[in-house]
Structure 1
């Protein structure tokens, strides 16, 4: 993503019905396609493509991957399905937020034929073959079209962005609270749901597997509370968004090794979980739910 490795993960579940979880951006789609071919998954072999939500770093490559693998069913929560069939509104909104950076970071989401899309409700199941399932659980808070996915055989839980952003190089775990959908109470409830599923591992879309499940989920909840408390304080002090971002960046710097580094890890952290985006999302939630 954006020329940086180790940012966004796509996961191949091997089996009787091979399944790809997350496509990454459209600019990453050729990398994903070639990797699948290298692993022996030809154009007619992929049975399912499922995305945890429709943000462009997770689902931006859906249209391209759907064309490359014409037999694959595309699975998404029902609140995101129409945007995969007709991404014009989603792309217009993204262009307003990102401007010219959109082309570098994400590229364009191509439409997917509506008849190939299966929309999930608050729970659902994806057949992986041989009695194995990928069970979907609605987990908003980060986004209203977000699901977590747990493998019935391995216990692996694909957490999308609902548990935040994990940076394996520095062992940092940062929140992901962008506007307009972030809701603290809903986000914490999603983490509680994940705990109740008793997963064996958390598979982060950003980036990679984490085996210490209870500790990681508790840390995710702590990060949400810390960032929300700091943003609430900035709002109570009457700071505008730019000054609130500066304050939160300064007061969270010591929490993350990546932010104390001079190498590319700081750039990766900001690309995946930008302070400005996180604070704006929390501010938006506070403006909806709390009086100034």
Structure 2
């Protein structure tokens, strides 16, 4: 299948084709003795993901585990549908997100306030998962992949209060979700992901420091794809966060409203990236985690912590 790519050590990148767009959100299948899907994508992506799993030989009773790095709908919106389609799979999520997978009503109501009618097109509806099938992670945890291979799970807030990173014991692959930002493989650009309401600079930087300390062999971004030059990309992740926060602080100090702050930050960061804001390759990601969402998240953090 054109949306499935082997990336080594029985790991397969699955383009979930979020809202029909390629290269926006990846899921990863670890085809180990106990197969594990990392990230489901949106509810509307479920048919695409199921076809990919089928093409890789995963039948309804074959998937052992589904784990999501956090419960934002581009990562976990399909959990309920995938859980129903693969009844033997255990669903793994951080403890702060577990109740929202069991009862998504509050999460969907909040998302509806942000996205309005776009919610249905972009994400669809997160369906409930039986609470008995959900395993809630704390600060750390382990997911058994069979034959001694496992994923070590680490609590990594900053982007979201319910975020975890995952390290494969066999490969050294580190699944970072959104905690290290958004990577564009076409250009090598890395941009921050700092949406409201949970963004916290101090927590985000600590999470990136934790990633560094794990000394992974490769970083796998949900947006989008694997990066082998690990330490430079994690250093860039921290640098981008500091730059965007400093610029947003400056805009706030100058009394700019959100629209003008976004315009200022866009203008002052555009030279950092090979791809401009208007480039078609950015449109899908710009919708999810563009400058407006990033600046709004930083502003919210500044107001909450009375910084700037």
2:295 equivalent among 275, 279, 290: 279
8 Å contact 1:174–1:273 — kept in the other structure?
no
8 Å contact 1:258–1:269 — kept in the other structure?
no
2:37 equivalent among 11, 20, 41: 20
The alignment yields a C-alpha RMSD, in angstroms, of 1.0
Residue 291 of structure 1 deviates from its aligned partner by 5.0
Correspondence for 1:160 = 177
Say which is worse superposed, 16-25 or 100-109, in terms of deviation: 100-109
Correspondence for 2:133 = 116
1:206 equivalent among 223, 241, 259: 223
User: Measured at CA, do residues 111 and 91 of structure 1 come closer, stay the same or move farther in structure 2, by a change above 3 Å?
Assistant: same
8 Å contact 2:24–2:285 — kept in the other structure?
no
Distance 1:32 1:291 in 2: 42
Deviation >4 Å, runs of 4+: none
Residue 263 of structure 1 deviates from its aligned partner by 4.3
Q: What per-residue deviation string (whole Å, max 9, x for no partner) do you get for residues 155-204 of structure 1? A: 00000000000011121100000001100011000000000000000000
Instruction: Report the 3-state secondary structure (helix = DSSP H, G, I; strand = E; otherwise coil) of the residue aligned with 1:179.
Output: coil
1:188 equivalent among 189, 205, 209: 205
Correspondence for 2:12 = none
1:250 equivalent among 267, 274, 297: 267
Gaps of 5+ in 2: 1-17
8 Å contact 1:134–1:151 — kept in the other structure?
yes
Correspondence for 1:265 = 281
Residue 152 of structure 1 deviates from its aligned partner by 0.6
Instruction: Report the 3-state secondary structure (helix = DSSP H, G, I; strand = E; otherwise coil) of the residue aligned with 1:144.
Output: coil
Higher relative contact order (CA 8 A, sep 6+): 1
Residue 258 of structure 1 deviates from its aligned partner by 2.0
Residue 3 of structure 1 deviates from its aligned partner by 1.6
TM-score of the two chains, using structure 1 as the length reference: 0.98
Correspondence for 1:147 = 164
Matched, 1:11 2:38: no
Residue 254 of structure 1 deviates from its aligned partner by 1.5
Distance 1:117 1:33 in 2: 20
Distance 1:130 1:16 in 2: 7
Correspondence for 1:290 = 306
Residue 259 of structure 1 deviates from its aligned partner by 1.2
Q: How does 1:52-71 map to 2 (within 5 A)?
A: 52-71=69-88
Q: How does 1:31-46 map to 2 (within 5 A)?
A: 31-46=48-63
8 Å contact 1:167–1:173 — kept in the other structure?
yes
1:130 equivalent among 142, 147, 164: 147
